[in-house]
Structure 1
Amino acid sequence: MPAVRLPGGSTVELVTVDRPVPGHGQVLVRMRASSICGSDIRAIYREHLGHGAEAYQGVVAGHEPCGEVVALGPGTARLGVGDRVVVYHIAGCQQCEECRRGYPVGCTSPVRSAHGWQRDGGHADYLVAQEESCLVLPHPLTFVDGALISCGFGTAYEGLLRGRASGRDRLLVTGLGPVGLAAAMLARLLGVRTVIGMDVSAPRAGLARDLRLVDHVVTDEDALADVVEEVTGGEGCEVAIDCSGHPAAREAALRHTRRWGRLVLVGEGGGMRLDVSNQLIHRQISLHGSWVSSVQHMAELIELLVRTGEHPERIVTHRYPLAEAGEAYRTADAGASGKVCIVWED
């Protein structure tokens, strides 16, 4: 079957691999949508980090998979052939403290493996997944919705929960790429009334305006300071979430977080200059790092989307067949689009 690997150097390799066979406790999923994540671009497509959780092992790429179960391995008990599933993209040991908390993303065992990083991912016609990694996708949601839930929207939702975002709060989102757009969309579902967004990319700022996900959109910090002054009376936002991973954006998010407010960092990579006493301690700021999501919170997110009638695929701007994966990655790497997704037609 056709598949995609990422050899580094901003290249995509189309290869032919054998159709996988599910083992004990596994299911075979026919892929229907497999979206591209910013982590794929940063850590694999451009160059291989080669260490830690982001060590790429030359597997089939794609860690945001969604599809339909077509075969069951021995020992499966919950899913059936024909079930539509979102695949939580990390399989853990199910024994360590992180796994018992429901966060296999933080699994501390050497057996931990992530689709598209250490085990074959979704950029192929079929994928083998652990049954416990699969969440049923209800029919009101599309396969593209499911692909976006499997990482990007799950990450945004977890970050908002960590920041306790609610109708009491004004939210600042720095970085209006796919995860930032997801955070803005989901904040509305959690009751947040006012969302301020900043991105230096004019196309991405424009997309946030066009989708009407953000009340105030700016492209530089001077404009951000003016908007925060106007909207909050200079107090700052109760919750800020950085989805960019850029030091300047993180620092701006902290500056515009209100006293006793909460700042959540979900954008990967980079650093941040921090005057701990003056910026955190004396202002009573809570600083949270948030990594992907728990399996349970992802299930909650699916239910929330069904109940509210919202669709993550609204932020998808480009769709490509698997054969055009090279163009899909070039589009995502340009940093001017919404979400980019590889799709399979019926």
Structure 2
Amino acid sequence: MLAAYLPGNSTVRLAEVDRPVPGPGQVLLAMKASTICGSDLRAIYREHLGEGPEAYQDVVAGHEPAGQVIEVGPDVHRLGVGARVVVYHISGCGQCDECRRGYQISCTSPQRAAYGWQRDGGHAELLLAEERDLLELPDSLSYLDGACVACGFGTAYEALCRVDVSGRDRLLITGLGPVGLAVGLLAKKLGASFVVGTDPSPERRAAAERLGAVDAAVPGTDEELTGLLGDGAEVAVDCSGAGVAQATAIRHTRRWGRVGLVGEGGQLTVDVSEALIHRQLTVHGSWVSSTGRMAELLERLDRWGLHPEVVVSDTFGLAEASEAYALADAGLSGKVGIVWP
């Protein structure tokens, strides 16, 4: 079968590999959609920067997969052939406190392996997955919807739950890439009364407004944000991973407000007393999500009639993975996906 690897230096390598065979507790999925994440670009595609949980082990790429079960191994009891599923992209030890809570993302066991990082991911025709890592996809949602949930929308929803967004709140989003779009779309469903987004890219600002993810999108100067938000938003979420934007999010959160930091990377320097303590801010670091929260999100997307695939601007076949990654890395498009018929 055909599979895509990321050797670094902004390249993609395609190779023919053997068909996987499911063992105990495992299922074999026919891939239907596998989207590209900013973390793939930052830590693998350009150069292999990762250590620890970001250490890429030359496996099949792609940590945002959705597909259909075509074969099950022994001791598989919940899912059968034909099930439509989303892959929670970290397979943990299953025994530590984090895994027991559903936050396999935070598992520190040597057994922890992320799909597309330390074990084969979704950029192949078939994917071997642990049954425990799979969430059933409601019939109303497409496979591309599911792939968007596997990381990006799941990450956005977790952060919004952490900062407890509701109809009481105005929301500031710094960074309007795919995760920022997801934050805006979900925040609207959770009741946020006014959503402002910032991004240096005019293309991304226009997309955010066109999709209804924000009520206003601006480059993000202090003057612009003060004009829109006065003394600040009740809630801010940074999705950029850039220190300047992270500082902007904190600076334009009003006293007693809440800040969520989602974007990976960046160096943030603040005067702790002036910026945080004296203004009574609560700052949350939020890393991906849990299986429980992701299952909750899938149910709510079904109920809300919200389709995450609206943030996908371009799709490619697996044989075109090199073009897909180059477009995603340019940082001007929406979400980029690899899809199968």
Normalised-by-shorter TM-score class: over 0.9
Residue of structure 1 equivalent to 2:150 = 150
DSSP-derived class of the 2:53 partner = helix
Q: 206-215 or 60-69: which moved more?
A: 206-215
CA distance in 2, matches of 1:175, 1:230: 19
Residue of structure 1 equivalent to 2:63 = 63
Q: Does the alignment pair 1:3 with 2:6?
A: no
Residue of structure 2 equivalent to 1:101 = 101
Q: Does the alignment pair 1:175 with 2:172?
A: no
Residue of structure 1 equivalent to 2:87 = 87
Q: Does the alignment pair 1:282 with 2:278?
A: yes
CA distance in 2, matches of 1:336, 1:115: 26
CA distance in 2, matches of 1:40, 1:57: 13
One-letter code of the match for 1:229?
Answer: T
Residue of structure 2 equivalent to 1:257 = 253
C-alpha distance after superposition, 1:117-145 (max 9, x if no partner): 00000000000111010000011000000
DSSP-derived class of the 2:6 partner = strand
Residue of structure 2 equivalent to 1:133 = 133
One-letter code of the match for 2:151?
Answer: C
One-letter code of the match for 1:341?
Answer: G
CA distance in 2, matches of 1:69, 1:188: 33
CA distance in 2, matches of 1:31, 1:11: 22
Residue of structure 2 equivalent to 1:248 = 244
One-letter code of the match for 1:136?
Answer: E
CA distance in 2, matches of 1:19, 1:123: 14
TM-score calculated relative to the size of structure 1: 0.97
CA distance in 2, matches of 1:193, 1:69: 41
One-letter code of the match for 2:81?
Answer: V
Residue of structure 2 equivalent to 1:196 = 196
Maintained 8 Å contact 2:185/2:212: no
C-alpha distance after superposition, 1:230-259 (max 9, x if no partner): 444x22101000000000000000000010
The structural deviation recorded for 1:169 is 0.3
CA distance in 2, matches of 1:50, 1:154: 22
The gaps in structure 2 that reach 5 residues or longer are: none
Residue of structure 1 equivalent to 2:234 = 238
State the superposition RMSD in angstroms: 0.8
The structural deviation recorded for 1:108 is 1.2
* Percent identical: 62
The structural deviation recorded for 1:274 is 1.0
One-letter code of the match for 1:239?
Answer: V
The structural deviation recorded for 1:97 is 1.0
The structural deviation recorded for 1:329 is 0.1
DSSP-derived class of the 1:47 partner = coil
Maintained 8 Å contact 2:158/2:293: yes
CA distance in 2, matches of 1:240, 1:97: 29
The gaps in structure 1 that reach 5 residues or longer are: none
Q: 98-107 or 213-222: which moved more?
A: 213-222
Maintained 8 Å contact 2:64/2:89: yes
C-alpha distance after superposition, 1:52-83 (max 9, x if no partner): 10000000000000000000011111001000
DSSP-derived class of the 2:149 partner = helix
Maintained 8 Å contact 2:37/2:152: yes
Residue of structure 2 equivalent to 1:295 = 291
The structural deviation recorded for 1:18 is 0.5
DSSP-derived class of the 1:172 partner = strand
Q: 213-222 or 248-257: which moved more?
A: 213-222
DSSP-derived class of the 2:328 partner = helix
The structural deviation recorded for 1:219 is 1.2
Structure 2 counterparts to residues 317-332 of structure 1, below 5 A: 317-332=313-328
Q: Does the alignment pair 1:337 with 2:338?
A: no
One-letter code of the match for 2:205?
Answer: A
Which of 226, 231, 236 is 1:229 aligned to? Answer: 226
C-alpha distance after superposition, 1:101-122 (max 9, x if no partner): 1100000110000000000000
DSSP-derived class of the 1:102 partner = coil
Structure 2 counterparts to residues 9-24 of structure 1, below 5 A: 9-24=9-24
DSSP-derived class of the 2:295 partner = helix
C-alpha distance after superposition, 1:300-330 (max 9, x if no partner): 1001100010100001000000000000000
Residue of structure 1 equivalent to 2:220 = 220
Residue of structure 2 equivalent to 1:313 = 309
The structural deviation recorded for 1:170 is 0.3
C-alpha distance after superposition, 1:240-289 (max 9, x if no partner): 00000000000000000010000000000121011101100000000110
Q: 212-221 or 287-296: which moved more?
A: 212-221
Structure 2 counterparts to residues 158-169 of structure 1, below 5 A: 158-169=158-169
Q: How many residues align?
A: 341
DSSP-derived class of the 1:213 partner = coil
TM-score calculated relative to the size of structure 2: 0.99
CA distance in 2, matches of 1:9, 1:137: 35
